[in-house]
A and B are shown apart, each in its own frame.
Chain A
Amino acid sequence: AQKITQTQPGMFVQEKEAVTLDCTYDTSDQSYGLFWYKQPSSGEMIFLIYQGSYDEQNATEGRYSLNFQKARKSANLVISASQLGDSAMYFCAMREHYGGSQGNLIFGKGTKLSVKP
């Protein structure tokens, strides 16, 4: 079973509108971390936002917010006021055994977002 599922291979959004990128995860751990990364066409991986499983409030970083619904095991990324520069691949990732020795991040397959002018 996939640990991280991103069901939207590609999405379009009009410039200045908000968009939600879906991410569901599968873990039996109580302590874990969720991450979103952006990969523009230039190829680098850019960290956007983090949510810990014990965080009571949804994480926000500028125009990015993470809609964390623990019971549903979803961690959707919301981008407000989309800009042309937001066109990129977006990856959701999870670290299990948070704070333990395992350490590695498991990535979803990504969603390609295209912002239309």
Chain B
Amino acid sequence: NAGVTQTPKFRVLKTGQSMTLLCAQDMNHEYMYWYRQDPGMGLRLIHYSVGEGTTAKGEVPDGYNVSRLKKQNFLLGLESAAPSQTSVYFCASSYTPGAANTGELFFGEGSRLTVL
């Protein structure tokens, strides 16, 4: 059981470079999320998706774009990286919350991104 897999685990970028973080889940979850974690700030939602082909903005979406072309994959893109985007990024997925389940999030291991 792979669960939620993020690639890459570590990346160093220069200001202005672009990159894509890939998240893949094998649990057939409808919902997927990208969070960033910064010291003292907890986890803040960047973007999320409630199904294939859908995306929505979270709390801190500026500077990021996402795509959900396949149900199992959720991509996070940085078009022009900035030092303020240095962070640990977590992908997560969940079943649709409802009477049958809690909608708890299943997390990937995180991706540490440094922008110089």
**Chain B residues numbered 47-98 whose CB sits less than 8 Å from any CB in chain A:** 48, 50, 58-59, 88, 90, 92, 94, 96-98
Q: Which bucket holds chain B's interface residue count?
A: 20 to 34
Interface residues of B (CB under 8 A from A): 31, 33, 35, 40-45, 48, 50, 58-59, 88, 90, 92, 94, 96-99, 102-107, 109-110
The interface size of chain A toward B, counting residues with CB under 8 Å, comes to 25
- Whether a CB of chain B sits under 8 angstroms from the CB of A99 is yes
A45 to B102, CA, bound (A): 17
> Across the interface, which residues of B come within 8 angstroms of A44, CB to CB?
107, 109-110
| Shortest Cβ gap from A106 to chain B (Å) | 7
A107 to B60, CA, bound (A): 13
CA distance A88 to B6 in the complex (A): 22
- Chain A residues with CB below 8 A from B88, complex form: 43
Instruction: Enumerate chain B residues within 8 angstroms of A101, measured Cβ to Cβ.
Output: 50
